[in-house]
C-alpha cells in the first residue's frame, strides 16, 4: 500500500471540501472494496476521506410508502431492520445474502452502488424497485445510475447521501451465488410496482440491466410460468472462469422464475 493522508470528516460539507482540497481523494465507507484495491496497488489515492463519523449518513426511515436508507448504512443493518423486513422483505433478504458476516457488517449501500461491481446485489434491487439515489448535488433515478462496468453517473467528488425505495406491491430476489465470494453469478430482482412490473438482472452483464420482455409478460400474468419460456441472448453477457455467457443467459430465466415465486 502506498502512503496516503487519512481524514475523518464530521459532515457532508467537510467531506466534500476535504475531497476537493486533495490532489486525488477518495471517500472511505467500510473499506471492503477500497482497502483491498489499495493493498493490491490498483488504486493509490493521495487522501482518504472517512465518512464513518457523519451521523446523518446512517439509518433507515419508512414514510409515505418510501423506504429511505442512508449511504453509510451497512448490509447487516438493512438485513435485520424490522422496518425493511416489513415494507420490502425482498430488499432485507437481498442485503442478508451479500458476502459473509464481516462484509455485511462493514460494507455499506453507498459504497456498494458507488463501486458498481457487475456482480453486486444492490444494483438489481435499486433497478428492480425503481429507486432514487440522492447525492450532495441531485437525485438520480436508478435507471440512469449504473452506466457500465464499475461506472456510474456520479461526477468526480459527488457524494451519495441516501437511497429511496418506493414500497412495491410485492417483490422477490433470487441469486445464484459464486460459491467462494458469494457475489452474484446471476441475480434477478422482480417487483410489481404502482408503475408496472420491473425485472432487473445483476451478475450477467457489464452492469445491472432490465428485461422488458419479462416485464411485459409478468404484467399480464404474474407467475413463474410467464417467464419460463423467455430466453435472454447470451451475446453481450459476461463469460469467465466461473460461467460462460450461455450459462449466465440460462440462469437469468431460472432466477427470474424463482424471484417471481418468491414474490408470491
Ligand atoms: C469477500 C467479499 C465478498 C463480497 N461479496 C459480495 C456479494 O456477495 N454481493 C455484493 O453485492 N457485494 C459483495 N461484496 C462487496 C461489499 O458488499 C461492499 O459493499 C463493497 O465492497 C463496498 O464496500 P464499502 O461499502 O466498504 O465501500 P468502500 O470499499 O469504502 O468504497 C467503495 C467505493 O465507493 C466509494 N464510496 C463509498 N461511499 C461512497 C459514498 N457515500 N458516495 C460516493 N462514493 C462512495 C469509495 O470512494 C470507493 O471508490 C463483497 C466484498 C468482499 C470483500
Question: Which among 12, 20, 29, 153 is the best mutation to test ligand 1's pocket, defined by most ligand atoms within 8 Å of the CB?
Answer: 29
How many residues belong to the chain?
Answer: 264
Co-location of 24 and 44 in the same domain: yes
Residue 70 grid cell: 442512508
pLDDT at 32: 97
Same domain? 37 vs 150: no
pLDDT per residue over 149-161, tens digit each? Answer: 999 999 999 999 9
- CATH number for the domain harbouring residue 228: 3.30.465.10
Q: What is the dihedral of CA 188, 182, 71, 87, to 10 degrees?
A: 50
| Average pLDDT value over all residues in the chain | 97
Cβ contact 69:94 at 8 Å: no
Residues with CB under 6 A from ligand 1: 26-34, 51, 71, 98-99, 103, 106-108, 110-112, 114-115, 120-122, 159-160, 181-183
Residue closest by Cα to atom 44 of ligand 1 = 114
CATH number, domain of 43, equals 3.30.43.10
What are the phi and psi torsion angles at 98 (to 5°)? -80, 130
Range of the domain at 131: 58-263
Do 162 and 193 lie in a common domain?
A: yes
Who wins on pLDDT, 1 or 13?
13
The 10s digit of each residue's pLDDT in 202-247 is 999 999 999 999 999 999 999 999 999 999 999 989 999 999 999 9
Contact status, residue 168 vs residue 191, Cβ threshold 8 Å = yes
Residues 132 and 244 in one domain: yes
Say if residue 141's pLDDT is above 70: yes
pLDDT of 20-70, one tens digit each?
999 999 999 999 999 999 999 999 999 999 999 998 999 999 999 999 999
| pLDDT at 1 (0 to 100) | 64
Do 216 and 167 share a domain, yes or no?
yes
Q: Average the pLDDT over 163-179 and give the result.
A: 97
The pLDDT value recorded for residue 264 is 81
How many whole angstroms from 33 Cα to the centroid of ligand 1? 5
**Residue 184: pLDDT band with limits 50, 70, 90:** very high
Share of the chain above pLDDT 90, in %: 97
The percent of the chain in helix, strand and coil, each rounded to the nearest 5, is 35, 25, 35
Looking at the structure of the chain, the number of domains it has is 2
Amino acid at each position: 500500500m502506498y502512503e496516503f493522508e487519512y481524514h475523518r470528516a464530521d459532515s457532508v460539507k467537510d467531506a466534500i471540501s476535504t475531497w476537493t482540497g486533495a490532489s486525488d481523494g477518495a471517500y472511505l465507507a467500510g473499506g471492503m472494496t477500497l482497502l483491498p484495491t489499495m493493498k493490491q496497488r490498483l488504486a493509490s489515492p493521495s487522501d482518504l476521506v472517512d465518512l464513518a463519523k457523519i451521523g446523518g449518513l446512517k439509518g433507515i426511515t419508512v414514510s409515505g410508502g418510501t423506504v429511505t436508507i442512508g449511504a453509510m448504512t451497512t448490509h447487516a443493518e438493512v438485513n435485520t431492520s424490522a422496518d425493511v423486513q416489513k415494507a420490502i422483505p425482498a430488499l432485507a433478504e437481498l442485503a442478508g445474502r451479500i458476502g459473509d458476516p464481516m462484509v455485511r457488517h462493514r460494507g455499506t449501500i453507498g459504497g456498494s452502488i458507488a463501486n458498481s461491481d457487475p456482480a453486486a446485489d444492490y444494483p438489481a434491487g435499486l433497478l428492480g424497485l425503481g429507486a432514487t439515489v440522492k447525492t450532495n448535488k441531485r437525485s438520480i433515478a436508478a435507471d440512469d445510475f449504473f452506466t457500465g462496468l464499475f461506472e456510474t453517473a456520479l461526477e468526480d467528488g459527488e457524494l451519495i447521501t441516501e437511497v429511496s425505495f418506493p414500497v412495491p406491491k410485492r417483490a422477490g430476489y433470487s441469486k445464484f451465488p459464486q460459491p467462494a465470494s458469494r457475489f452474484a453469478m446471476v441475480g434477478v430482482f422482480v417487483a410489481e410496482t404502482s408503475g408496472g412490473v420491473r425485472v432487473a438482472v445483476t451478475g450477467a452483464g457489464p452492469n445491472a440491466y432490465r428485461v422488458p420482455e419479462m416485464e411485459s409478460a409478468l404484467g399480464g400474468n404474474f407467475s413463474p410460468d410467464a417467464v419460463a419460456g423467455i430466453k435472454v441472448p447470451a451475446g453481450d453477457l459476461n463469460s469467465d472462469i466461473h460461467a460462460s455467457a450461455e450459462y449466465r443467459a440460462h440462469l437469468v430465466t431460472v432466477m427470474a422464475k424463482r424471484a417471481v415465486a418468491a414474490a408470491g
